[in-house]
């Protein structure tokens, strides 16, 4: 059985200038494209990956999934929030700065997925959609290993009361309160509840809150900032 690999970046070790310092991996946040390209090369090399074999998405807070078996090359990068592959050695990447990066792999079937789950993606069901796409390629939920990365926590993600109610109506586990007792949403908790219902038991959640960590990009804290990446691949 070949191994599954999961990795989440922090903001250090790249070449971007403020306010994207240092390892901004997002190409649509206003940073110098040359710096982003260098950062993607640095991150890939640190992980032992060929930067040309990393598949990125054009994320739009939806629930569409793309099945890929090679890099996009000259084709347009599709507007999806999950990518799934049955190709070993092909790395899938997801960009975040508070949203939940979700990495999934069934090492036996050789099927992997990366998904971007913010509040809209949680409600739209992007993670269940990614799992269904994996199952269609031969994965079994009981064998899927799931890792979620640094994201804004339920104590920090304050929302209007009506918004919390809308999210909790779809996913009760996401209901949260800030430390001040105001309405909040815990997207990571919601994602893990969705995975649990699908039969994905081997799960781990990063303890890092992006908004509270000086080592991570946070959109809610800084607005104009970089993007972290999560990578998954099978060898």
CB 141, CB 82: distance < 8 Å: no
Closest CB to Zn ion among residues 83, 211:
211
- Cα separation, 117 vs 149, in Å, equals 11
Neighbouring CB atoms inside 10 A of 70's CB total 11
CA-based radius of gyration for the chain: 17
Beta strands in the chain (DSSP E): 4-8, 54-55, 65-67, 82-85, 91-96, 100-106, 111-117, 145-148, 175-177, 183-185, 202-205, 228-234
Closest CB to Zn ion among residues 81, 186:
186
Q: Which stretch binds Zn ion (CB under 5 A): 1-9, 43-51, 105-113, 201-209?
A: 201-209
For residue 167, the minimal CB distance to Zn ion (Å) is 17
For residue 153, the minimal CB distance to Zn ion (Å) is 3
For residue 178, the minimal CB distance to Zn ion (Å) is 9
End-to-end CA distance of the chain, in Å? Answer: 9
| Contact call for residue 156 and Zn ion (CB under 5 A) | yes
Q: Which stretch binds Zn ion (CB under 5 A): 2-10, 19-27, 93-101, 150-158?
A: 150-158
Residue window 202-221: x/- pattern of binding to Zn ion, with contact defined by CB under 5 A? -------x-xx---------
| Contact call for residue 177 and Zn ion (CB under 5 A) | no
Which residues lie near Zn ion (CB under 5 A)? 153, 155-156, 209, 211-212
């Amino acid at each position: 059985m070949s191994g599954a690999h999961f990795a989440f970046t922090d903001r250090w070790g790249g070449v971007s200038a403020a306010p994207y310092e240092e390892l901004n991996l997002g190409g649509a946040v206003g940073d110098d494209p040359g710096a982003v390209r260098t950062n993607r090369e640095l991150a890939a090399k640190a992980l032992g990956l060929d930067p040309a074999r990393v598949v990125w998405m054009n994320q739009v807070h939806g629930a569409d999934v793309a099945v890929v078996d090679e890099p996009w090359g000259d084709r347009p990068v599709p507007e999806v929030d999950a990518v799934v592959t049955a190709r070993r050695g092909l790395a899938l990447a997801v960009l975040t700065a508070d949203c939940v990066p979700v990495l999934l792999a069934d090492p036996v079937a050789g099927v992997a997925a990366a998904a971007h789950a913010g509040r809209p993606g949680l409600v739209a069901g992007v993670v269940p959609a990614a799992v269904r796409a994996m199952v269609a390629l031969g994965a079994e939920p009981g064998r899927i290993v799931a890792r979620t990365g640094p994201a804004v926590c339920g104590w920090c993600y304050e929302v209007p009361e009506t918004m919390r109610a809308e999210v909790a109506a779809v996913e009760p586990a996401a209901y949260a309160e800030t430390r001040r007792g105001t309405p909040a949403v815990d997207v990571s908790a919601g994602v893990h509840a969705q995975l649990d219902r699908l039969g994905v038991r081997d799960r781990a959640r990063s303890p890092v809150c992006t908004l509270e960590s000086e080592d991570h990009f946070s959109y809610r804290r800084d607005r104009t900032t970089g993007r972290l990446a999560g990578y998954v691949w099978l060898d």
